[in-house]
Amino acid sequence: MKIEEITRIIERFAPLRYQESYDNAGLIVGRPQDEVHRALLAVDVTEEVMDEAEREGCDMIITHHPIVFHPLKRFNSATYVERCVERAIRRGIALYACHTNLDSTPGGMSWQVGRMLGVENMQVLQPTDPADSRVGFGIVGELPVEMEAGAFLQCIRERLSAPVIRHSDLVRPEVRRVAVCTGAGGSLIGDAARSGVDIYVTADLKYNDFISPVGNLIVADVGHFESEYCAIDLLFDILSKNLITFAVRKSVNSRNPIHYMV
């Protein structure tokens, strides 16, 4: 199957025009007309993921994070990014990323986590497209019933397999209205507060983010990787439902580069 046939399916769900100006989503290594036979899905392209792709006969790797985010000035194997790109070119392995376009598309990343946490009646937290209010970052919605705040944090920890959750003071004994933004969502705290949520679930919060939430808002940082591991299942569903004869594998070596001592 040609690469362009596969990327067309992905981009029909998450159009590249939805990506942010700083991003580098799309086909990074490979040509649209190249033939591929099996794809590996991961959060990041790493050397362990490259090993797995070669071992399993995958000639395409589809990730959430783009391996090339900043321009590369040289290829001398000095960094893992250079080594992975060099190796992909030599081995004929295509590299494709679906990043902020997968974050902001309707039904995308935050919607996926919202579903995992049982959030209902979801709407976009921060719309970004004046022509379509469904496009944007984060979601806001409600749990079926109120939950004790600590119990909901434990639910988050279990459902997202988060070893640690950092959170602000539990200023609300119970929560029901929830906002979620996968990845680094500190900039959306104000949006979450204005939407009247009880708790905002995101990642990569700074020290002051835990002090400054407006009103009776709990903020919870579940970890960047933990919030975005759902990309693998989301991409798997998109591809497996639309490409019956194309083999897609979920990486078993897609892992968090951050370790915790608990």
* 255: in domain: no
For residues 207 and 238, state if they share a domain: no
For residues 41 and 72, state if they share a domain: yes
pLDDT recorded at residue 85: 97
pTM of the entire predicted model: 0.96
* 260: in domain: no
pLDDT < 50 regions, the chain: none
pLDDT recorded at residue 261: 87
For residues 193 and 241, state if they share a domain: no
The span from the CA of 95 to the CA of 23, in Å, is 15
Token code pair at residue 44: 């990041």
* 261: in domain: no
**How many helices and strands, by DSSP H and E, does the chain display?**
9, 11
Strands (E), 86-152: 94-97, 120-127, 136-148
* 258: in domain: no
- pLDDT above 90 covers a percentage of the chain that reads 94
**64 annotated ligand-binding residue:** yes
Domain total in the chain: 2
For residues 47 and 119, state if they share a domain: no
Closest of 28, 45, 159, 163 to residue 96, by C-alpha:
28
**99 annotated ligand-binding residue:** no
Q: What angle do CA 200, 14, 185 make, to 5 degrees?
A: 20
Which range marks the domain in which residue 233 is found? 3-101+229-250
For residues 236 and 198, state if they share a domain: no
* 12: in domain: yes
pLDDT recorded at residue 214: 66
CATH of the domain at 133: 3.40.1390.30
8-state DSSP, 108? S
**70 annotated ligand-binding residue:** no
Token code pair at residue 179: 């906002």
* 69: in domain: yes
Closest of 48, 50, 47, 34 to residue 1, by C-alpha:
34
The span from the CA of 99 to the CA of 65, in Å, is 6
* 256: in domain: no
- Adjacency order of strands within the sheet including 60-63: 26-29, 94-97, 60-63, 38-42, 247-250
**228 annotated ligand-binding residue:** yes
For residues 29 and 54, state if they share a domain: yes
For residues 117 and 185, state if they share a domain: yes
pLDDT tens digits, 203-249: 999 999 998 766 789 999 999 999 999 999 999 999 999 998 899 99
Measured CA to CA in angstroms, residue 166 lies from 171, 198, 207, 210, 218 at distances of: 15, 16, 10, 9, 11
* 212: in domain: yes
pLDDT recorded at residue 229: 98
For residues 136 and 47, state if they share a domain: no
pLDDT recorded at residue 114: 98
For residues 160 and 241, state if they share a domain: no
